[in-house]
Amino acid sequence: QVQLVESGGGSVQAGGSLRLSCAASGSPYAHYCMSWFRQAQGKEREVVATITKYDRTTYASSVKGRFAISKDRAENILSLQMNSLEPEDTAMYYCAADGKGLTQWLDSCAQESDYKYWGQGTQVTVAS
């Protein structure tokens, strides 16, 4: 069973930065996709950024150019660097992993249903 533990959330002023980390148990090669999702109060959970086992990255249009996803295979840590934060970025942020490391190719992994493992979430609050 893979465990994902997020850290790094907090409260910042608009324009500030935060770095989220997700420590994963098990093999660093166990997943095809790893992503950060977020869920704001009263809204549906949405994908923020994804990195594949081939290190291909994709971002939601609302965060492109401001956020950067990365993966440290040696430490088995997924990170999300968030810069130029806006009040609209306020949400609970979740790390997710799909458990499909043996898959050669996936067309997409942008849906919640694509992921088998989830962290408990870390809160990010951006004040205006």
Counts for the chain of helices (H) and strands (E), in that order: 0, 11
Please write the tens of the pLDDT for every residue from 15-73: 999 999 999 999 988 999 999 999 999 999 999 999 999 999 999 999 999 999 999 99
Closest CA to 49 of 28, 23, 20: 20
What residues have CB less than 8 Å from 27, skipping those under 6 apart?
76, 101
Alpha carbons within 13 angstroms on the beta-carbon side of residue 47 total 21
Helix, strand or coil for residue 92? strand
Instruction: Tell me which amino acid residue 106 is.
Output: L
pLDDT confidence tier of residue 105, bands split at 50, 70 and 90:
confident
pLDDT value, residue 15: 98
Nearest to 19 by CA among 86, 69, 59: 69
Q: Burial-class residue 30 by CB neighbours within 10 Å (0-12, 13-18, 19+).
A: buried
Residue type, 66: R
